[in-house]
Amino acid sequence: MQFHTILTSISLLSCLALWPQAPAHAQSRDAGHARTDEVILEMSQAFRKADARRLSALLPQVRGHVLEPWAAYWELRARLETATPGEIQEFLTRFADTYQEDRLRNDWLLLLGQRREWGSFMAEYPNFRMNDDRSVRCYALLTEFNSRELDVARQVEELWLAQREADDGCAAAAEQQIRAGKLPPQTAWLRARLGMENDRLRVATQALDLLNTKWASTVSAIYANPAHFLDGKLLALRPRTKELVTLALIRLAVGDPAAAATEIDKLRWKTQLTQEERSWVWGVIGKRAAMRLSDSAMAYFLNGQDKFMHDDQLAWKVRSALRAGNWVQVSTAIAAMSEGQRKDATWVYWRARALLSLAMGEADRAEATRLLASIAGVGGFYEQLALEELGQRITTPERPTALTPEEKETVRRNAGLNRALYAIQIGLRSEGVREWNYSTNLHQRGGMSERELLAAADLACQHEVWDRCINTSERTKTVIDFEQRFPMPHKDAVLSRARQIGLDPAYVYGLIRQESRFVMDARSGVGASGLMQVMPPTASWTAKKIGLSNFKPHQITERDTNIAIGTGYLKLVLDDFAGSLPLAAAAYNAGPSRPRSWRGQNGAPVLEAAIWAENVPFTETRDYVKKVLSNTTSYAALISGQPQSLKSRLGVVGPRDASATAMSSDLP
């Protein structure tokens, strides 16, 4: 697309109404203007390098530019620790109602909390519109307890236990509540358990440091060598020692579930650890065994009690039970989950399936039907499966009423959206995406209605910013525009190539949508590039296999080359897995060797592919397989105009026939 389409997307008069000065994108992009864009890009690099001096020197050169709010944010954020309150308030006032204002407020609130400047914190906190930072929320709860003695213990506990990393805000609030006797010390031990279970030593040491500053070294030693700690324990355990033993057993289970199972089954731990402590450890052992697809996982889980296991352990218990065909345990483990997790479409679907499998009468079947109906739709993997369980197929929803010129004009004049589009077009995709998401957020003050979201998605589609088009359109619940959610850029190239090599175009589109959201220059953190996110070694290997002569690594970012290599590789892995769409999708994401092992050895059960996909050990790949297959079904409905079945595309997954040989055993 031409850059000037964004530069002229709103009139000069509209710009003047939105901005103190006429913004850069209301003018033609002459040489001087292009130079200002270059200064903006230079400032973004200086910000990444924390070069505050350079940022301050460059800022005057971008006054009046549409991205000046970003430039001003970078400059002030880089020196926030030394900035005066007056400078901060001047920024917040000048850029009021922008993403940059609220982003800086978030940063400022964190700094005020770290400094324990509670008066300034509480004066600014009510203005924080995003309010999506757990640490800031914890600081706010801490001050609310100090000033008004509100009962905040439950909220603090929930936020602290949900934090993946060690942070100051929630730890400070938890310490306050523990010292005030509002939270029991056991909460800190639970936090330490989660740290041990999830390979986060700092989480564990920070939690126990709130109870006793001398315990950090002991916990570190347990983390490094849990077996050594367990070998040295005497039979008579004190309460603190019991908790340390529990941490050691958890840590042992992370690395070696079988060894942990043998250890915890010893008489001394059976008699001296509580049922709660033992159940948590068995939950970790079962989870880690299930993640290895071990047949022992279910037996491990059954040694503990569901009511003492946390949601992630219970999720893996359900997965293990599905593999074993144990519908009773599927049902009981889901029933033990927190209310919030039980409402997730994944567990609603499997709870309904368990009821249907165990149905003792009409009441069970009626409840299963109710559960399926509560999630059934075209919006995702389990929603589509629920629809099919109810006897329906996946079809393209009727398009909503066409957007009016007024609806389109409203979002076209939205300063945040225009600033986001401009940032994306000059290469500041991360900044543009964040501002776009902020500007379309339904939950922020003055957020968008569903019709406005459709109009915003339409604006992104018109500018070929496909990822924002898709993600924005996906947020509507009652009005669904399938053509927005499942666009088909590069249609001639994709359809032609797919049909040429015998691939279903819907499958190719389903994969590209998940891989890159059609962002041409997408590049992953591990180096995958382009529409189909191909890794350089895979590209070189595939180029030789498909006869693409004179291939050079830099060509992988060219559209047609990327499509040719990506589809070529997809066809090779699909053939290698005998046409199994879920196995090929897993291979494309995680490499072929992993799904080969995940499908099991000779004698492994043949599973419906939905159960197999739910048991994929890697969270990213598990999510990827489900989304690619759901996308494929939706694209097929769009392309064909006919009802489609996700179940038929999933099929079943079992071990490879021992007599079969891999067609492409050297697949990278």
**CA torsion, ordered 81, 82, 88, 91, to nearest 10 deg:** -100
Residue 66 vs residues 6, 26, 63, 235, 446: alpha-carbon distances, Å: 12, 9, 9, 70, 22
Count the Cβ atoms, other than its own, within 10 Å of residue 486. 21
Q: How many CA atoms lie within 13 A of 54 on its CB side?
A: 13
The full length of the chain comes to 668
Q: Is the dihedral of CA 138, 144, 147, 148 positive or negative?
A: negative
Backbone torsion region of residue 600, taken as left when φ is above 0, otherwise alpha when ψ lies between -120 and 50, otherwise beta? left
**Secondary structure class of 382 (helix, strand, coil):** helix
C-beta separation of 180 from 189 below 8 A? no
**Secondary structure class of 490 (helix, strand, coil):** coil
Instruction: Determine whether 515 is an active site residue.
Output: yes
Residue 16: phi and psi, rounded to 5, are -65, -30
C-beta separation of 436 from 468 below 8 A? yes
Closest CA to 181 of 153, 145, 143, 212: 153
Q: Which residues contact 418 (CB under 8 A, 6 or more apart)?
A: 6, 9, 10, 25, 66, 412
Options 362, 515, 614, 620, the catalytic residue: 515
Count the Cβ atoms, other than its own, within 10 Å of residue 93. 9
Report the alpha-carbon distance of residue 355 to residue 351 in Å, rounded.
Answer: 6
What angle, rounded to 10 degrees, do the helices at 153-162 and 186-197 form? 10
Element (H, E) at 653: strand 652-653
Closest CA to 7 of 30, 31, 24: 24
Element (H, E) at 607: strand 607-608
Block residue for tokens 């047949």 = 295
Q: Catalytic site residues?
A: 515
